[in-house]
């Protein structure tokens, strides 16, 4: 029944209705997508307050020239004592695709079992595909205990 | 429909009660017309050979996966402490559980093979050409959905191989610039693979992907119905 | 066969609308089969055979359940399932792009996978070579398809053995 071009009032009414339809339609779509999206998006685990956490390991558990794998606040971690003076704590998660590295006794290196990444005792990449060195933690020795502190 | 004999294709029904029930249904829903059109007076092309079966076979395997999947879901527990043990119970304690899991596991592998054969046949016979281009695209989407089902289903028994394959599999997209980290975060449901990941993979494997796949299969079949079966070479 | 109905060029709804006499003629001339019972019987036989095969495989080679996952210990020789081996091997091939820069190996792996899937999706729009469907008349498409299939199989085997 509309005669668009001949009736300016009907035209503007139609324009207004279309705009209103678009406006409320958009609100409806966003109103569904936004809460559902937020609901689905994973939450980051909150870090407990009180600064960096630390953990103690008896020094005797890591012989010189050897490595020990520990769970440092649920993160796979390796403590290495390449020689008398040095003490290193590294994340054991390979920076390539997230596998857990293994200690290679013969070469004093860390080898990734997945794609052949090789790291030295400081965590630096010396072979294979890993793009960056292993994450390291600061360590100190106090009365026969190794104290590892979160970065 | 007042008659002594109801003729349905090759079947001749004389039972009065059956005829009365059928005609009551037919008066309301036009059942006879549907049966004649879709079953008894329907013809199928004669040129379809062995290699044309594989789309249908893949569809049948999808149905098998749904049935065995529902059966497995009855005993499976999607928690990182119980998942492995519950699959063990399905295989060792539930009667025929080993068979149901076996069909589900082998079926998924077989389905990927039959889809590959189906796609090869479509490619070699040039069936993807006009006017069927879009159905090739829908078919490839179905392949990707099947791979997604395999990927999410593989983690559910929470075994060493599955866990580490998933670590590597979800780490791979993290290399995409800018959004990669977010994709990994969303896929894992967190920074690491854990309970949240398992629950999400479970929901995606048993509900999200099967529903999307079923709808896409329907689209695939409707396109075939609309366009007809392609002719012989 | 002079007045043969071109069955295969018709939409299903048009085939459905053919007169019953015409359908009977097509079945008699061997152009078509009745859907019921012949076609249905074929489907049932095929599906039944497939189910038997599945049950047989599942009985002879039962699905096994590996060790429980240990997030603190990566086992040696982890390999993805066979259908992801080719994708897995592209990650290794991508390591040879290191000459482009340190960023390249990780990104190129996923780029190659993305390109492969995109090409597969777009096959009908890449191969627009007319209506010819016979493989012998489509040498380029056949060669490209064979190359893609061989690459996929080679990558799968390399991913398994290397």
Q: Where are the domains of chain B?
A: 6-40, 50-227
Name the residue in chain C with its Cα closest to that of A131: C102
Mutate to test the interface with A, among C72, C75, C92, C159 (most CBs of A within 10 A): C72
Helix axes of C104-121 and B133-155: crossing angle, nearest 10 degrees: 130
Residues A59-79 have a mean pLDDT of 87
Q: Tell me: do A36 and A58 sit in the same domain.
A: no
Q: What is the pLDDT of residue B182?
A: 92
Q: What is the pLDDT of residue A50?
A: 67
Residue C75 is nearest to which of B125, B160, B229, comparing CB atoms?
Answer: B160
Q: Tell me: do A25 and A59 sit in the same domain.
A: no
DSSP assigned state of B87: H
Name the residue in chain C with its Cα closest to that of A93: C72
**Which own/partner pairs from B59-67 qualify as long-range (CB within 8 Å, at least 24 positions apart)?**
B59/B217, B60/C46, B60/C47, B60/C50, B61/B107, B61/B110, B61/B111, B61/B114, B61/C50, B62/B111, B62/B213, B62/B217, B64/B103, B64/B107, B64/C51, B64/C54, B65/B104, B65/B107, B65/B108, B65/B111, B65/B149, B66/B210
Answer with the residue of higher pLDDT: A8 or C102.
A8
The three-state secondary structure class of C101 is coil
Q: Tell me: do A30 and A58 sit in the same domain.
A: no
Q: Tell me: do A58 and A8 sit in the same domain.
A: no
**Tokens linked to A30:** 């966003």
Neighbours of C55 (CB within 10 A): 14
* In-domain check, residue A48: no
Cis? peptide before C37, omega within 30° of 0: yes
Q: What is the pLDDT of residue A83?
A: 85
Mutate to test the interface with B, among C31, C38, C72, C83 (most CBs of B within 10 A): C83
Q: Tell me: do A100 and A133 sit in the same domain.
A: yes
Residues B95 and B75: their CA atoms lie apart, in Å, by 12
Contact A131 C72 (CB under 8 A): no
Residue from C6, C68, C69 nearest C32 by CA: C6
Contact C74 A114 (CB under 8 A): yes
CATH code of the region B50-227: 1.20.810.10
Q: What is the pLDDT of residue C138?
A: 92
- Is residue A121 predicted with pLDDT exceeding 80? yes
Name the residue in chain B with its Cα closest to that of C105: B175
Q: Tell me: do A86 and A139 sit in the same domain.
A: yes
Q: Tell me: do A101 and A30 sit in the same domain.
A: no
Model ipTM value: 0.91
Residues C78 and A48: their CA atoms lie apart, in Å, by 34
Q: What is the pLDDT of residue C1?
A: 38
Answer with the residue of higher pLDDT: B58 or A50.
B58
CA separation, residue A3 to residues A6, A10, B199 (Å): 6, 8, 58
Q: Tell me: do A70 and A132 sit in the same domain.
A: yes
Query: Tens of pLDDT along chain B (233 residues)?
Result: 456 888 887 788 899 999 999 999 999 999 999 998 889 988 888 888 889 999 999 999 999 999 999 999 999 999 999 999 999 999 999 999 999 999 999 999 999 999 999 999 999 999 999 889 999 999 999 999 999 999 999 999 999 999 999 998 898 888 888 898 899 999 999 888 999 999 999 999 999 999 999 999 999 999 998 888 888 87
Spell out which residues of chain A touch residue B189, defining contact as CB-CB under 8 Å: 42
| Cα distance from N-terminal residue to C-terminal residue, chain A | 73
Spell out which residues of chain B touch residue A37, defining contact as CB-CB under 8 Å: none
Q: Tell me: do A20 and A73 sit in the same domain.
A: no
pLDDT along chain C (162 residues), means of 10: 52 81 89 88 93 95 93 86 92 83 80 94 90 90 96 95 84
CATH number of the domain residue A108 falls in: 2.102.10.10
The full DSSP string for B179-218 is THHHHHHHHHTSSS-SHHHHHHHHHIIIIIHHHHHHHHHH
- Total structural domains within chain A: 2
Q: What is the pLDDT of residue C132?
A: 87
* In-domain check, residue A25: yes
Instruction: Please provide the average confidence, as pLDDT, over all residues in chain A.
Output: 86
Q: Tell me: do A100 and A137 sit in the same domain.
A: yes
Residues A36-62 have a mean pLDDT of 82
**Tokens linked to B74:** 């009855």
Contact A42 B186 (CB under 8 A): yes
Residues A46 and A44: their CA atoms lie apart, in Å, by 6
Q: Tell me: do A60 and A32 sit in the same domain.
A: no
Q: What is the pLDDT of residue C84?
A: 93
Q: What is the pLDDT of residue B144?
A: 98
* In-domain check, residue A68: yes
Q: Which residue range(s) make up the domain with A139?
A: 54-149
């Amino acid at each position: 029944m509309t005669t668009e071009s001949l009736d300016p009032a009907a035209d503007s009414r139609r324009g207004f209705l279309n705009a209103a339809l678009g406006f409320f339609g958009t609100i409806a779509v966003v109103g569904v997508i936004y809460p559902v999206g937020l609901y689905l998006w994973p939450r980051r685990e909150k870090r407990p307050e009180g600064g960096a956490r630390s953990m103690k390991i008896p020094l005797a558990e890591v012989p010189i020239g050897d490595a020990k794998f520990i769970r440092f606040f649920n993160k796979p971690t390796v403590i290495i004592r390449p020689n008398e003076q040095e003490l290193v704590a590294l994340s054991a998660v390979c920076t390539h695709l997230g596998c857990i590295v293994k200690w290679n006794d013969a070469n004093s290196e860390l080898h990734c079992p997945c794609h052949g990444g090789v790291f030295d005792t400081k965590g630096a990449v010396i072979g294979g595909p890993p793009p960056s060195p292993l994450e390291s933690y600061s360590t100190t020795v106090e009365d026969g205990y190794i104290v590892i502190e979160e970065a | 429909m007042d008659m002594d004999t109801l003729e349905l294709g090759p079947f001749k029904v004389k039972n009065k009660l059956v005829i009365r029930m059928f005609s009551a249904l037919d008066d309301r829903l036009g059942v006879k017309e549907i049966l004649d059109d879709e079953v008894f007076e329907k013809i199928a092309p004669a040129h379809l050979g062995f290699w044309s079966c594989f789309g249908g076979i893949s569809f049948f395997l999808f149905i098998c996966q749904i049935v065995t999947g529902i059966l497995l879901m009855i005993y499976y527990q999607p928690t990182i402490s119980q998942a492995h043990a519950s699959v063990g119970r399905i295989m060792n304690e539930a009667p025929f559980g080993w068979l149901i899991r076996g069909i589900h596991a082998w079926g998924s592998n077989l389905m990927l093979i039959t889809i590959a054969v189906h796609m090869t046949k479509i490619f070699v016979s040039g069936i993807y050409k006009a006017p069927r281009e879009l159905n090739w695209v829908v078919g490839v989407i179905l392949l990707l959905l099947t791979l997604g089902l395999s990927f999410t289903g593989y983690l559910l028994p929470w075994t060493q191989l599955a866990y580490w394959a998933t670590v590597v599999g979800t780490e791979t997209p993290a290399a995409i610039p800018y959004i990669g980290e977010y994709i990994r975060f969303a896929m894992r449901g967190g920074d690491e693979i854990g309970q949240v990941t398992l629950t999400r993979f479970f929901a995606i494997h048993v509900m999200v992907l099967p529903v999307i796949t079923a709808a896409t299969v329907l689209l695939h079949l409707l396109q075939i119905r609309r366009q007809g079966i392609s002719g012989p070479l | 066969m002079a007045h043969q109905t071109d069955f295969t060029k018709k939409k299903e709804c048009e085939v459905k609308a053919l007169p019953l006499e015409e359908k009977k003629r097509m079945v008699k001339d061997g152009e078509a089969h009745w859907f019921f019972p012949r076609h249905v019987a074929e489907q049932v036989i095929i599906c039944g055979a497939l189910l038997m095969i599945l049950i047989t495989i599942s009985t002879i080679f039962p699905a096994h359940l590996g060790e429980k996952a240990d997030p603190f210990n990566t086992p040696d020789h982890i390999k993805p399932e066979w259908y992801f081996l080719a994708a897995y091997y592209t990650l290794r091939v991508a390591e040879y792009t290191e000459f482009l820069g340190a960023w390249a190996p990780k990104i190129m792996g996923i780029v190659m996978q993305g390109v492969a899937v995109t090409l597969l999706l777009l096959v009908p729009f890449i191969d627009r070579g007319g209506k010819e469907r016979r493989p012998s008349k489509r040498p380029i498409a056949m060669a490209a398809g064979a190359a893609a299939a061989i690459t996929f199989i080679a990558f799968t085997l390399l991913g398994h053995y290397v």
